[in-house]
């Protein structure tokens, strides 16, 4: 039953997104042109939702696929789309990147660490951690 619920949910989201994009885009771009372009994005996100992948991966893949859909819409439309639509296509990826950066920053305690730099876990176990110094 879970798969039927997911399929109905993503079909409804596809229909809603197609109608909203039809209202926001120029009259030359209609529902019958928009629907097939965003259908692969809905199928991919629905499939990943059914696989129950981690939410972080789901959000990133979903945002990237919707950005590709916006680029395809830009390619087929006879008139340029509004800048608002371009900003709304890039915004999910930017938001996901910012949230991932903040989450990583919180996990490291607010101190970013370079990939090659040693951490406290790499320190030697002996009590003589600092080398002895010779006087001048």
What digits encode the pLDDT tens for the residues 57-112?
A: 888 898 899 889 988 988 888 888 888 888 888 888 898 889 888 888 888 876 65
Secondary structure (3-state) at 45: helix
What is this structure's pTM? Answer: 0.67
Q: What is the dihedral of CA 69, 12, 83, 66, to 10 degrees?
A: -30
Q: What are the start-end ranges of the H helices in the chain?
A: 2-24, 31-51, 55-76, 83-107
End-to-end CA, the chain: 79
């Amino acid at each position: 039953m879970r798969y039927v619920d997911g399929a109905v949910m993503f079909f409804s989201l596809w229909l809603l997104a197609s109608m909203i994009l039809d209202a926001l885009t120029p009259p030359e771009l209609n529902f019958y042109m928009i629907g097939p372009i965003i259908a692969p994005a809905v199928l991919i996100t629905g499939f990943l939702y059914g696989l129950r992948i981690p939410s972080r991966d789901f959000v990133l893949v979903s945002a990237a696929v919707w950005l590709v859909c916006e680029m395809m819409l830009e390619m087929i439309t006879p008139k340029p789309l509004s800048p608002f639509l371009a900003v709304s296509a890039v915004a999910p990826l930017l938001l996901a990147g910012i949230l991932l950066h903040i989450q990583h920053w919180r996990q490291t305690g607010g101190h970013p660490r370079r990939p090659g730099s040693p951490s406290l876990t790499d320190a030697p176990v002996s009590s003589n951690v600092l080398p002895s110094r010779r006087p001048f």
